[in-house]
Amino acid sequence: MKRIVVKNLNKKFTLDHKKRAGALAKIVSIFSRNNEGKRLLTVADDVSFEVEQGEIIGIVGHNGSGKSTLLRLISEIYQKDSGEIKTEGKLIYLNGYGQGLQSRLTMRENIYLMGALMGLSQGDIKKRFDEIVEFSGLSNFVDAKVYKFSSGMVTRLNFSVTMYCVKHHNPEILLLDEIFSGGGDIEFFDKSTKLVENLVQGGATVILVSHDLGLIEKYSERVIWLENGKIREQGSAEKVLSAYKNQ
Amino acid sequence: MKIDSVLSLSYSIAKANFKLRNEGSYLGIFWYLLSPLSLFLIILFIRGSIVSTEGVANYPLYLLLGLVMVNFFSQLIHSATNVIQANSGFIKSIKIPLEVFVFSIVLQSIFSHAFEVLLIALFFIYFHISLIGIFFYLIVFAFFAIFVLGLCLFFATLGLYVSDLGNIWTIASQLLFFLTPTFYIVHPGTSLYLGNLFNPIFYFMTAARDVAIYGTMPAWWMIGVMLAVSTLSFCVGALVFNKFKGRFAELV
């Protein structure tokens, strides 16, 4: 069963948006005859691939090659210009952690806020609350404000909430964008890596984006190499990664 | 996402932002009251020199109700102009209905408005006016909130395309404050009255004062206009927001 089908996907971004965003600039641009053409950046150029149920594929490429954009297009955060994207099943996109943390709120308040942002009801968060706190190892700081936390503690909190919310949803498709960066101390890094491994190998269809080629090699059966929004090569992890390293 | 999930998420964000705004503040929620209260006291003190308020029964209440309504409107639209940009981190990384950010600022303003309503209730007790007026005020306010919500959806979208909209609104809201009979009275037949017939806030403000302070039913045509502008504002706002929201993540 195909969980993800991407066919002839195209996407361009308009550059210079901010430069033209002022009210006066808008008015001037309406009346000005000297309208310079829009500068466009191609971020997906005729991209096509399919991912089967339970398959783990990796995406590699240099910065700006369109890896994160591709995941955002699949998860409908960005809208495609043309082409086809079909997904079958519940999909979750994760890019790092910490988007929802508010440093002036307590850890308890942050868990409820982040949980809500990740689609959990207040009742669901209540049920998961103890597990999250226990996994984070921060049970003594539940009612402390997050700005008093060290960066390692913030990472622990971020990771724990995000992962338990993902586990709760039990998604069929996982799009993971550089989430293995870990953080915290070695003990927590090992613990968190194990949790992500369980998630990745738990039967879901996974697309993994990372600059860590060892990681891609370890988990992915197939790899796509993106360059300037175009697929330069796709195939077995061994073949594509070897070509990517020797470019 | 279902509508109850959208509302629940909007409520969670509004609650967190409400806590954040009061966090570490000694005066806490009283800050919400200080702005309209200080303006209220200043105008009350100098009213004789700037406008004639003769014949206005219970003028302090007339003034306070006008101030809190215009305050609710101006501050909310100002927040809306930047709400999408302010939440760019979420918008780029989580697939959630983007309406929640607009709903949450409206809910947050409704929370703070609740304290202003409490203040008004205290004034009602002091002036021996029936508290039933507060109940009728809430009905008018519900339509007013829908009207403002529609505008917020519109301004949230526009704010992404016109980066200095917040500054423009600061000036526009000052003009609106002086053109709307917030602290003075307009008499039918005058040019100011005719001008205010094109000002939606005038209808809500007049109806609110009629039902809450004077215990009278607003004219039917006035109720009709309120219903029409609330519906129109909400529909247009929702339509514009829906049409453009797909591009928000690219623009923030």
Q: What is the pLDDT of residues A20-79, one digit of tens each?
A: 567 777 677 766 655 556 778 899 999 999 999 989 999 999 998 999 999 999 999 999
pLDDT at A21: 64
B13/A contact by beta carbon, under 8 A: yes
Lowest mean pLDDT among A16-20, A101-105, B187-191: A16-20
Strand partners, A47: A9
Q: Is the pLDDT assigned to residue A174 strictly greater than 70?
A: yes
Strand partners, A175: A93, A207
Confirm whether B20 is domain-assigned: no
Q: Is the pLDDT assigned to residue A3 strictly greater than 70?
A: yes
Q: For strand A40-52 and strand A2-14, is the pairing parallel, antiparallel, or unpaired? A: antiparallel
Confirm whether B50 is domain-assigned: no
Q: Is the pLDDT assigned to residue B242 strictly greater than 60?
A: yes
Among the partner-chain residues B16, B20, B251, the one whose CB lies closest to the CB of A17 is B251
Confirm whether B148 is domain-assigned: yes
pLDDT tens for each residue of A80-93:
999 999 999 999 88
CB atoms A105 and B161 under 8 Å: no
If you count residue pairs, one on A and one on B, with CB atoms under 8 Å apart, how many are there? 80
Q: Are A146 and A103 in contact (CB under 8 A)?
A: yes
pLDDT tens for each residue of B177-190:
999 999 998 888 89
- How far is C-alpha A94 from the chain's CA centre? 3
Confirm whether B23 is domain-assigned: no
Question: Helix %, strand %, coil % for chain A, to 5?
Answer: 40, 25, 30
pLDDT tens for each residue of A126-140:
999 999 999 889 999
Confirm whether B189 is domain-assigned: yes
Tokens of B218: 């607003």
To the nearest whole Å, the CA of A246 is away from the closest chain B CA by: 32
pLDDT at A102: 84
pLDDT at B108: 93
Confirm whether B49 is domain-assigned: no
Q: Is the pLDDT assigned to residue B251 strictly greater than 60?
A: yes
pLDDT tens for each residue of B52-77:
777 788 999 999 999 999 999 999 99
pLDDT at A98: 55
pLDDT at A154: 87
pLDDT at A16: 66
Whether this model's ipTM surpasses 0.90 comes out as no
Confirm whether B15 is domain-assigned: no
Domain around B178: 28-41+58-251
pLDDT at A198: 80
Lowest mean pLDDT among A13-17, B10-14, B193-197, B241-245: A13-17
Number of domains in chain B: 1
B96/A contact by beta carbon, under 8 A: yes
pTM: 0.86
**Alpha helices by DSSP H, chain B:** 3-22, 30-50, 59-80, 83-86, 88-93, 99-126, 132-161, 165-179, 191-196, 200-212, 220-244, 248-251
To the nearest whole Å, the CA of B139 is away from the closest chain A CA by: 29
CB atoms B162 and A109 under 8 Å: no
pLDDT at B212: 95
**Any idea what DSSP says for residue A210?**
-
pLDDT at A182: 52
The more confident residue out of B240 and B54 is B240
pLDDT at A231: 95
Strand partners, A234: A224
Confirm whether B185 is domain-assigned: yes
Residue A183 banded pLDDT, cuts 50, 70, 90: low
B37/A contact by beta carbon, under 8 A: no
Give the H or E element holding residue A44.
Answer: strand A40-52
